[in-house]
Structure 1
């Protein structure tokens, strides 16, 4: 690997969401602020959406790491579950030990009793679901019914959904109007700007121990930003590949052609489209013909 060659202590562009690399860029900080405000005010449903690779899982982990002690967090990273499986998973996350022989009504009652017990001890309970767009329709309805569990003064369970935009498309359907109306706070993660992307690259290199302040020049970092369309995961993929190509050549920093090779090797990267040479010639000929026509017409008057 290239770590020793570039003086790094760890891989700077791993695809694993690592909160140690969290960088306080505007969209991520804003999302966290929305989440923290909603949780502190006791809202029932909170939703964060974003395209693949925009940092939802990283924000999810950052949120859970920074929750005050009074919060008890139940986390479901893969919610492709039937309503029955969803209830069992929630029960397990709440620390319930139970027999598989009990029916769903009894299980729901046990969950409510556990929520009441935790609440009585001063805990606020949060159910966090990553990749929530994978929830089947019936499970979305079961999730809504969970938020019916409440005392006279507050909800017993708060639900945080992290999802791709497909969830918004589904929630727009009339059959989900009750659930949609319960989502009081939501945030949509945007892509990073070119300047934010360049700062993001330099930050990750710095955290990874880079003593070379400019393994990527600002211009080259912005080339990656453009090809990645500001998507952090794609920025990581392209930056990692560019470092590999640079290392393979024995270079001390990443050059433009290293980035070009990384872009060519990445199917999801935006590739600059150039018009064929013959098309450029045709446009020039057409422009010259129009100019000649008006010159000739003018000479006759």
Structure 2
């Protein structure tokens, strides 16, 4: 900035005119009456000389002002360059920040995917292990069931056999409805032409009522139920023209029980 005088005072008679150069514009030349130039008064000379000195200073001020403008333009240009450079650097920083954010986001997404995949694989492994354990438990339970049934089967068979013996013994001794049924099946394969007899033990005959006797005799024409003193309690003999059919119901049921036991033994050996 110029160091020239920024303010000048001009004495006009008893008045003082102040020239202010802060606005960097030359003030209008003060009006000086002609009598001040025509008069040889010292005041007039002082005024003229003072004003002339102001003109000289104004010329110097204009030159300095031009330098100030040039300096100002340089500073404004420099400031503009600084601003452009700052904006460019700011944009670069922002772009780098966005790039870093994108990279971090991509890395985070990749890490999340890897972690999720690891969790899925872990859950799959746990599920597979659970299925394997469940299958092992189920297989063990099935094997235990088989072993238990194998151990219980002979006992069950014995219980069934004893139950059959009890039922058969009770039915044979206390019921006689089985006689007609048994005789009917004994005669299924026979072609009967002549009358025949159904021989039963004396004890069984005494336990038969007329209804059961009629059921047996109505199975065929000429059938007759007769007691036989030589027969055991459970023996039955059907005499036909083709020969005799003998059957002991107790022995028959015992054979059935033995067959069941034999089947059980065969299954155990397999």
* TM-score band w.r.t. shorter chain: under 0.3
TM-score by length of 2: 0.17
TM-score by length of 1: 0.15
Larger-Rg structure: 2
